[in-house]
Structure 1
Amino acid sequence: MTVQTGRIARAVSLAAGLIAAAQIASAEPQHGIAMYGDPALPPDFVSLPYANPDAPTGGQIVTAEVGSFDSLNPFILKGSVPWQLRFFLGESFMGRSIDEPFSLYGVLAESIETGPNREWVEFTLREGAAFSDGSPVTIEDVMWSYETLGTEGHGRYRGFWEKVESMEQTGERSVRINFNVEDQELALIAGLRPILKKAQWDGLDFAESTTDVIPITSAPYVIDDFEPGRYVSLRRNPDYWGKDVPFRRGTNNLDEIRLEFFGDETAAFEAFKVGEVNATREFNVVRWDTRYDFPAVQSGDVVKEVLPHGRPSGMTGFAMNTRRPHLADWRVRDALIHVFNFEFINETMTGGAQPRITSFWSNSPLGMSDEAASGRVAEFLAPFADDLLPGTLDAYSLPVSDGTERNRAGIRAALSQLEAAGWTVQDGTLKNAEGEPFQLEILLDQGGLEFQSIIDLYRESLQRIGITPTITVADSAQFKERTDAYDYDMVYYRRGVSLSPGNEQYVYFGSENADTPGGRNLMGVKSPAVDAMIGRLLTSATQDDFVSAVQALDRLLTTGRYVIPIYQWNVSRIAQVKELKHPDYIPVWGDWPGWQPDVWWYEED
């Protein structure tokens, strides 16, 4: 079944405009907050527009996850944690609507209030908010959580804490956070910090916990069973305190969310075919068209859906580690991009059906143009002109091959760039002036069979220019350990981006934390221009300046030749048993955290 509605087109159009910039309101408690202007839903909204407040409760969703895990604490750096847990276990003052570019509505918070320039934010805790063990959530828990996450938690929480000047309790159920920098997004980020129970961690080392301690939170689900590396079962808390909060109505309808772990994609798909798993996502159009014809699909017991969305493409591909001396040269990275024969690979893998990612924000109005920079984009980049790479101010697009396996033009361009960088083919091997061969280790996660197949094709192309790469396929724990230590030349890379990029861009691409272990800047980007564009988008007073700042950032990242992009997914392909249902209304973000399993329900015909 393919869902196509006028509603989606209108939502995408709204996202394309972002939201008309407006003077930021202040000094009055509100039910929600938006990055610009006002949130779309009124104070008396009944439920999120993509949730069904009358949905029945019960049943389960079982998904197949490729890989393993050795920790159940998603709020710290240590260990390999199922990525979903920070969404299932984390509950915060505010919740994000995935039907708007960046709007938040109260969950733990009864209200939110900001200063005239968002130099502070104050939250009032809802009366009756409680942890899953029945104990009340207090402002003491809140303040402990902010400080602990900011000093001992995962890196995603630390950047925010560094921008906090002070924090004070202002009432029995209220707390105010004062900021030390001008940054209009901080008030929103503050609303998304998970709140943990302080008393649980008395005498325990928060940063070192793995599966020995499961964090107690106030969220709708609790972990009630697990086996390390095999499965995690989350059960809906029947006594959940917030079931009547408008943001929560029609959500968290399933009694169980179960994550089953498999060694590779083939085993995961077979589990879906035989009914051990009842919902799956497919990212390859050829497999979607050819493998989903098993008896349960033919009988209608399994339903296939193609769902639209209005998200930017983000970046999926293979990141090059600029911390390595030979990959610090942009000409070498440019050569490796030319060698990657996308058109041939795409035809082999998908029948040519999936378009290529062209930049980090492609498929959205925030994406860079392939023409020369102009207007405010050019103006923002001008102070850095002497240090910008070719294509940043001029026209730039990824190389396009003739589709044949040999890719002669791409190989010639690559060899030319490599020679300029001091590398030539000597006796069939690419070497530098000292006669040292070019080393290239490509690190992959063992669960990604499709990406291993892509790299196998890429290896054949690399051998044409005298490079014999080492391809290392690591299990989940080893992959995380090595990526945390930036121990690779090239690595599989996936970075989702939003229609409202903000402080997280420093985490993804900022210089300051580029060498911090466990960071998310896998390429090692250290660029004053990139840092400046992130700062500019955070302080833009108008929509036009914000869009231009993101487009300028997109140009810097794309022309930096940090990643070899592969194909994008402009629709989502999902399949599930017929008893799993969701509202017809599809949010702007489509199939994204906050939609499945959040607003789904189980109902037998």
Structure 2
Amino acid sequence: MRSEFFRSLRRGALILAVVFPASFAGAEPRHGIAMYGDPVLPPDFVSLPYANPDAPKGGQLITGNVGGFDSLNPFARKGTPPWQLRFLAYESLMGRSYDEPFSLYGLLAESVETSPARDWVEFTLREEARFSDGSPVTVEDVIWSYETLGTVGHLRYQNLWSKIERIEATGPRTVRISFNTADRELALIAGLRPILKKAQWTERDFAEAGLDDIPIGTAPYVVDSYEIDRNVVLQRNPDYWGNDLPLRRGTNNFDEIRIEFYGDDTVMKEAFKAQAISFVREFNAERWDTQYDFPAVERGDIVKSEIPHQKPSGITGFVFNTRRAPLDDWRVRDALLHAFNFEFINDTLTGGRQPRITSYFSNSELGMQDGPATGAVRELLEPFAQSLPPGALEGYSLPVSDGTKRNRANLRRARALLEEAGWTVQDGRLKNAAGETLELEVLLQQDALLQQATAIMDIYSGALARLGITLTVQQIDKAQFAEREAQFDFDLTFIRRAISLSPGNEQAFYWGSAVADQPGSRNLMGMKSPAADAMIDAMLTAESREAFIAATRALDRVLTSGRYVIPIHNYAVGRVAHVKQLTYAKDRLPIYGDGIHFLPEVWWWQD
């Protein structure tokens, strides 16, 4: 968001802090809540700013997934469900506007109340809220959902549950959650937990649910039918309870959403060319410019749409598993980064059309700045100076090659770093003092980025061979990949972590020491950095936007200078090719750009 907007929010927050200093004195029910200041939309807003409240209902949307599925429960630890179900078939107490960094508005709850310190939050349920079977949503359902997901549900729900001191009914339609941790984001995160029906699981084990045990939700879509590893069909519920809510006007417009499954990305793209599926997202700028000239595009039956956004780059690339030697040595990781000739790879695969990610929060005001750390950022980092990776305080940037295939200067630097770490060339192979060779394996699964990732690794392996390093690429199916990733059974693998304009608790799950050795953790690199942990804590307890930005920039320095990931392309623009009947409000795009919150949520079918 714009700096003047945040300055206004800060002034409002300061006034509130002075007028309402006590924990309970300033609390009152509100229609929405923002991470800092007030939510932008007023209590009487008509619809989300990027939705068309008059969008027609109807049509069938067909989307494609690579791989298969063996579960239709997106909240259990066991199984692999279609990723879309979590977003399309279930609702939470509050709903998010993707035209603000982090603001929520009433969905199942008609209001939210919290203290200035945000050590508790209270939600009041809407009297009309219903599950898809017509039964009312109760406070008992809410409490059961939080407890069940937090204890036996997917790991992503455990962090919040561990920070809840008490959850209790405070009235027939009100539930209060008290926290045991100073963390201003928790009040918002609590509003985004899915609510399921307790009675469905009275005689069933949620953790061991079978394929037919599809959780009952409250959302506009319900699972209508499925064929294992072939398709899942969602139907829009004609009796959906929330059609007239401001948060829902102009959204969920398709009568049917059909998810088709394909063996690989190439087959799925061919299906799209034949219009067997309605849209694809393209991540390769070169292919976008050169391979979308097939007959359906030339006839105008398929349209290419580019959706810009203002969110941070996040991190996309190849992550090092620092649990394994020698990847636990930053010098080895630095050498591997110098050997990665991004400029040549980018020119070869995308015609140089896609810029590179320069840090985890690049492309936003949250990203680290060039040069040495200064001001509040330096003050946050200096207590950890002895343990920080080189460059965190002094300034760090990724190696840049001359763009030629040989990349001589960077390979020379890579050799020097490897020698410093105890690796020298012996009989044409890189070996350590024990005579062990340096052999690495990159683990990949089939998805929309597989072809590009494989092509990148083919070029990279040639560069590493010149250093005496053997790199092999292993491609495995989705189920095998999920198991090996969960057990951290890889040297390198592909990583993609999207980051919002209001990053928070998920950062601890991505990079925190506490989960580094926890199977299934999202901390794939296995980093255990006291500095990173402290910066995440500073983000979560910041009481001003300035303090939050400083903490985030400091975290960005720790992550980037840690050399944990070989970053690749920055997807600064969403590229969606779609059948001409799919339409969206082109004059009011959300600041978060494309995503499931955009397509399919606010698109519609126009004959």
- Alpha-carbon shift at residue 528 of structure 1 (Å): 0.7
Which deviations, in whole Å up to 9, do the C-alpha atoms of 1:204-261 show, x marking residues without a partner?
2212225231111111111111222222111111100111111111111101111112
Contact between 1:359 and 1:554, CA under 8 Å: does it hold in 2? yes
Superposition map of 1:452-471 within 5 A = 452-471=454-473
Within the candidate set 507, 510, 529, 2:509 is matched to 507
Q: What's 1:107 paired with?
A: 107
Superposition map of 1:120-139 within 5 A = 120-139=120-139
- Alpha-carbon shift at residue 16 of structure 1 (Å): 8.6
Q: Which amino acid counterpart does residue 130 of structure 2 have in structure 1?
A: A
For 2:161 and 2:244, the matched residues in 1 are separated by 31
- Alpha-carbon shift at residue 293 of structure 1 (Å): 1.0
Which deviations, in whole Å up to 9, do the C-alpha atoms of 1:332-375 show, x marking residues without a partner?
11111111110110001100111100000111110111311111
For 1:17 and 1:175, the matched residues in 2 are separated by 33
Structure 2 SS opposite 1:538 = helix
Q: What's 2:305 paired with?
A: 305
CA change 1:18–1:590 in 2 (3 A) is farther
RMSD: 1.4
- Alpha-carbon shift at residue 273 of structure 1 (Å): 0.4
Contact between 1:231 and 1:259, CA under 8 Å: does it hold in 2? yes
CA change 1:549–1:524 in 2 (3 A) is same
- Alpha-carbon shift at residue 17 of structure 1 (Å): 7.4
Q: Is 202-211 or 379-388 further displaced after alignment?
A: 202-211
Structure 1 SS opposite 2:414 = helix
Contact between 2:196 and 2:217, CA under 8 Å: does it hold in 1? yes
Q: Which amino acid counterpart does residue 352 of structure 1 have in structure 2?
A: G
For 2:514 and 2:7, the matched residues in 1 are separated by 32
State yes or no: 1:593 paired with 2:605.
Answer: no
Q: Which amino acid counterpart does residue 548 of structure 1 have in structure 2?
A: A
Q: Which amino acid counterpart does residue 20 of structure 1 have in structure 2?
A: R
- Alpha-carbon shift at residue 470 of structure 1 (Å): 2.3
Contact between 2:461 and 2:472, CA under 8 Å: does it hold in 1? no
Q: What's 1:39 paired with?
A: 39
- Alpha-carbon shift at residue 382 of structure 1 (Å): 0.5
State yes or no: 1:341 paired with 2:333.
Answer: no
State yes or no: 1:544 paired with 2:534.
Answer: no
Structure 2 SS opposite 1:326 = coil
CA change 1:66–1:408 in 2 (3 A) is same
Q: What's 2:360 paired with?
A: 360
Q: What's 1:71 paired with?
A: 71
Q: What's 1:157 paired with?
A: 157
Contact between 1:315 and 1:495, CA under 8 Å: does it hold in 2? yes
- Alpha-carbon shift at residue 303 of structure 1 (Å): 1.1
Within the candidate set 574, 577, 581, 1:575 is matched to 577
Q: What's 1:231 paired with?
A: 231
CA change 1:593–1:460 in 2 (3 A) is same
Superposition map of 1:46-195 within 5 A = 46-195=46-195
Structure 1 length-normalised TM? 0.96
Structure 2 SS opposite 1:387 = coil
Q: What's 1:406 paired with?
A: 406
Q: Which amino acid counterpart does residue 595 of structure 1 have in structure 2?
A: F
Q: Which amino acid counterpart does residue 583 of structure 1 have in structure 2?
A: A
For 2:70 and 2:533, the matched residues in 1 are separated by 35
Contact between 1:165 and 1:180, CA under 8 Å: does it hold in 2? yes
Structure 2 SS opposite 1:112 = strand
Q: What's 1:450 paired with?
A: 452
- Alpha-carbon shift at residue 439 of structure 1 (Å): 2.5
CA change 1:280–1:17 in 2 (3 A) is farther
For 1:89 and 1:556, the matched residues in 2 are separated by 38
Within the candidate set 464, 485, 489, 1:483 is matched to 485
State yes or no: 1:20 paired with 2:10.
Answer: yes
For 1:295 and 1:267, the matched residues in 2 are separated by 17
For 2:564 and 2:490, the matched residues in 1 are separated by 14
Q: What's 2:519 paired with?
A: 517
**Percent identity over the alignment?**
62
Contact between 2:305 and 2:575, CA under 8 Å: does it hold in 1? yes
For 1:215 and 1:429, the matched residues in 2 are separated by 55
CA change 1:595–1:397 in 2 (3 A) is same
For 1:229 and 1:517, the matched residues in 2 are separated by 26
For 1:528 and 1:15, the matched residues in 2 are separated by 33
For 1:341 and 1:208, the matched residues in 2 are separated by 47
Structure 2 length-normalised TM? 0.96
Q: Which amino acid counterpart does residue 371 of structure 2 have in structure 1?
A: E
Gaps of 5+ in 2: 21-25
For 2:410 and 2:226, the matched residues in 1 are separated by 49
Structure 1 SS opposite 2:304 = strand
Which deviations, in whole Å up to 9, do the C-alpha atoms of 1:140-161 show, x marking residues without a partner?
1100000001101111111001
Which deviations, in whole Å up to 9, do the C-alpha atoms of 1:188-213 show, x marking residues without a partner?
01100000011111222212225231
State yes or no: 1:418 paired with 2:421.
Answer: no
- Alpha-carbon shift at residue 12 of structure 1 (Å): 6.3
CA change 1:315–1:362 in 2 (3 A) is same
For 1:47 and 1:313, the matched residues in 2 are separated by 28
Q: What's 1:244 paired with?
A: 244
Contact between 2:47 and 2:250, CA under 8 Å: does it hold in 1? yes
- Alpha-carbon shift at residue 542 of structure 1 (Å): 1.4
- Alpha-carbon shift at residue 74 of structure 1 (Å): 1.0
Contact between 1:15 and 1:499, CA under 8 Å: does it hold in 2? no
Structure 2 SS opposite 1:457 = helix
Contact between 1:79 and 1:210, CA under 8 Å: does it hold in 2? no
Structure 2 SS opposite 1:40 = coil
Q: What's 2:23 paired with?
A: none
For 1:18 and 1:409, the matched residues in 2 are separated by 49
Structure 1 SS opposite 2:538 = helix
The size of the alignment, in residue pairs, is: 594
Structure 1 SS opposite 2:385 = helix
Q: Is 197-206 or 389-398 further displaced after alignment?
A: 197-206
Q: What's 1:202 paired with?
A: 202
CA change 1:15–1:212 in 2 (3 A) is farther
Q: Which amino acid counterpart does residue 75 of structure 2 have in structure 1?
A: F
For 1:339 and 1:77, the matched residues in 2 are separated by 38
CA change 1:427–1:393 in 2 (3 A) is same
- Alpha-carbon shift at residue 325 of structure 1 (Å): 2.4
For 2:451 and 2:66, the matched residues in 1 are separated by 10
Q: What's 1:6 paired with?
A: none
Gaps of 5+ in 1: 1-10
Q: What's 2:555 paired with?
A: 553
For 2:4 and 2:599, the matched residues in 1 are separated by 23
Structure 2 SS opposite 1:297 = helix
For 1:438 and 1:468, the matched residues in 2 are separated by 7
Structure 1 SS opposite 2:507 = helix
CA change 1:121–1:335 in 2 (3 A) is same
Structure 1 SS opposite 2:187 = helix
Q: Is 135-144 or 199-208 further displaced after alignment?
A: 199-208
Structure 2 SS opposite 1:376 = helix
Structure 2 SS opposite 1:49 = coil
Q: Any runs of at least 4 consecutive aligned residues in structure 1 with deviations exceeding 2 A, and if so which?
A: 11-21, 23-26
CA change 1:524–1:18 in 2 (3 A) is farther
Q: Which amino acid counterpart does residue 544 of structure 1 have in structure 2?
A: E
Q: What's 1:4 paired with?
A: none
Q: What's 1:562 paired with?
A: 564
Contact between 2:6 and 2:545, CA under 8 Å: does it hold in 1? no
Q: What's 1:529 paired with?
A: 531
Which deviations, in whole Å up to 9, do the C-alpha atoms of 1:391-441 show, x marking residues without a partner?
000121000011111111111111111111111111111111010111211
Q: What's 1:217 paired with?
A: 217
